[in-house]
Each structure stands twice: as C-alpha cells, then as structure tokens.
Amino acid sequence: MSIYDASVYQRGFGTFPLIGEKLSQAVHVALDVGYRAFDTAQWYGNEGVLGSALSEARVLRHDILVTTKVHPENMDDSRFLPSVERSLRDLRADVIDVLLLHWPPGDGPVEPSLELLQEAHRRGYARHIGVSNYTTAMMRRAKAFLDVPLAVNQVEFHPLLDQRKLLGASLETGIPLSSYCSLARGEIFKYPVLSEIGDRHAKSAAQVALRWILQKGVAVNAMSTRPANMQANFDVVDFSLTPDEMLQIDGLTVANYRISNADVVPYAPTWD
C-alpha cells in the first residue's frame, strides 16, 4: 500500500497508549471500520502486538500501511539499524512502510540522525522515510541534506494550535504534514463553535475538527478505544466545511494550546 493513496493514508489509526489485548481488540475493530493505516512507534512498546494483530487479520498485509518511529535513544550509530531490525521483526514485516525519526535532537543538528534514516532506506528496511516534530527550519535543512525525499513530518496539529508556519514550510519543501493529537486529547470539546458547525452538517465536534485538518491538506492519525468514535473519526470524507466555517475554526488557534512541550518531552525543540 502506498503512502500516496490518500484515501488510506489521510485517515490513520493512532495506537498510543494502547498495549496488549486492548490494542489487539482496537486494531480488529479499526480494520472492520475501514482503517488501513496504523501509527505506532518503538517508544509505544506495542509494535509486537500490532504486528500480530495485523497478521491475524483477514485484510491482506499488502493493503495495510504501517508507520513506526525510531526512539530518540536509538538515534546513534550503534543502535539505530539494530532497532529498526527489531521493529521489522516485531511488526512481522519485510519492509516498514513509513519509518520516521520520532523526535529531533532538541535544537541540535539534524543531519546525523537523518543520515542513519537514509541508510535504513538504502538497505531496503523502509519504503518511505519521514520525520516527526520537526520545526520549519529543520524541514528546510532536511530537504537540503537528503537524497531521498521525506514522505512526511508528523506534528501536533489541531484547531487550538496555529501551525501556519509549518504549513508554509510544507508547501515550500514539498514535505507533507500529518497530524497527531488531532483532537488535542479532548481539549477541543471546550469550544462550542465546533459542535455548532457540526450541527449544520449532522456531524460531531470531533468530526468537524478532523475535517478541518484534512481540508488543510494534512493527514489525520486519530486514536480511540470506542468503536463508535473510531467509526465517527473515519466518517469525515463525506462532507465539506465552507470557507467561512474554516475561517471560524482558524480563529480557535489563538488558544495556542500545545501538548508537546519541553516539560512533557525532553527532546522537544524550540518551536518556531
């Protein structure tokens, strides 16, 4: 399955913080709903459960797209490639569909870990490579440094955070964005404008937020443990927000609500 099949990749299922039987059940429901893109990471400690749940599924592995991410502690010469080989085994995959660097090295130079990522691609360990939590300046440096184009920069992206600079850098560098914490872990529900807009389309506030992200040209990774929410988060391609509604939601970004700050994640760079 290709990352360029937008109908698959734009609606990904996030797996953090699910582990064990809870993850296994969620994956089976998600596949029944129609999800074919799954997001995991070495850090989540759930690649093995995801790999076995996908191998038990009736859906062909060829039709599924798995993204995983290299843990920041594995981004050195001795640990990087062995960690990717472990991910391949745990995911029961011949090749990782999308391999990301989970975090940049704070504000440090990005080139050493990008070189390791590129080497994993050269060895055939990954079909596509990408990054996560890169700033605009890092996107430009990556574009200048790499021979292989980056398939994605996965970033915090939701209606309560102004990410226009990242969208601009995405257009400029050709590196697409995908979102995490697309519902700001529930914080968006404090803003009634989302459900007011949703009422006009017979959709929920969550669906409006996800639709707003898609209409920005950004892929979504949504996580839910509830079948009804999984279904709702998937049913976001059968309606459109008007330009006026998009602008109203843009107005919420003044909240400047960011989850992934340095006090939560020690690897976080200075956001630009």
Q: Residues annotated in the binding site for substrate, as ranges?
A: 102
CB atoms within 10 A of CB 208: 25
What are phi and psi for residue 11, nearest 5 degrees? -125, 80
List binders of ligand NAP among 41-80 (CB under 6 A): none
Cβ-based nearer residue to ligand NAP, 55 or 261: 261
4 is catalytic: no
Among 1, 16, 258, 271, binds ligand NAP (CB under 6 A): 16
132 vs 173, beta carbon nearer ligand NAP: 132
Q: Which residues contact 175 (CB under 8 A, 6 or more apart)?
A: 130, 131, 139, 142, 143, 149, 150, 151, 152, 153, 169
Least CB distance from residue 233 to ligand NAP, whole Å?
5
Measured over the CA atoms of residue 184, residue 65, residue 6 and residue 130, the dihedral's sign is positive
Does residue 266 interact with ligand NAP by CB under 6 A? no
Q: Which stretch binds ligand NAP (CB under 6 A): 70-78, 90-98, 160-168, 180-188?
A: 180-188
* Shortest Å, Cβ 192 to ligand NAP: 15
Query: With the C-alpha atoms ordered 216, 177, 87, 183, is the resulting torsion angle positive or negative?
Result: negative
Residues 200-239 that bind ligand NAP (CB under 6 A): 206, 221-226, 229, 232-233
Query: In this structure, how many other beta carbons lie within 10 angstroms of the beta carbon of residue 62?
Result: 7
* Residue (66 or 146) nearer to ligand NAP, CB: 66
Contacting residues for 112 by C-beta, under 8 A, at least 6 apart: 75, 105
Position 184, amino acid: A
| Residue, CB closest to ligand NAP | 14
User: 36 and 59 in contact (C-beta within 8 Å)?
Assistant: yes
- Which positions lie near ligand NAP, rule CB under 6 A? 14-16, 39, 102, 132-133, 154, 180-186, 206, 221-226, 229, 232-233
Q: Which amino acids are annotated catalytic? A: 44
